[in-house]
Amino acid sequence: MDYPENYELVFQAPAVEDDVVVVHRTERSGAGGYPIYEDDTGIVRAEISAKGEVRMMASGGHQAPGVPMAVRSVQH
């Protein structure tokens, strides 16, 4: 299956504009067998299915990642 190289994860922020994080596909797969994506810092990490279903993954101890309100494929 072909998966996009990049996604935008849109999180609701308390400020006026939503917080958008771009994640890039890695060579790893998650528990569901779908690619793991992460941002440039490696802090935001998610397993994203071909249907755009997102499972956020903790990248460190005591992290409780929020669920994005939207996910968008990004073509560069």
- Tens-place pLDDT, residues 11-30: 887 767 878 999 999 999 99
- Tell me the one-letter amino acid at 56: M
Residue 60 domain-assigned (yes or no): yes
Could you report how far apart the first and last alpha carbons of the chain are, in Å? 19
Residue 1 domain-assigned (yes or no): no
Using an 8 Å Cβ cutoff, are 16 and 39 in contact? no
Residue 34 domain-assigned (yes or no): yes
Instruction: Write out the residue range of the structural domain in which residue 26 sits.
Output: 6-74
Residue 52 domain-assigned (yes or no): yes
Count of the separate structural domains present in the chain: 1
Give percent of the chain above pLDDT 90.
62
In a 10 Å sphere around its CB, with 0-12 CB exposed, 13-18 middle and 19+ buried, how is residue 25 labelled?
Answer: middle
> Per-residue confidence at 75, pLDDT binned at 50, 70, 90?
confident
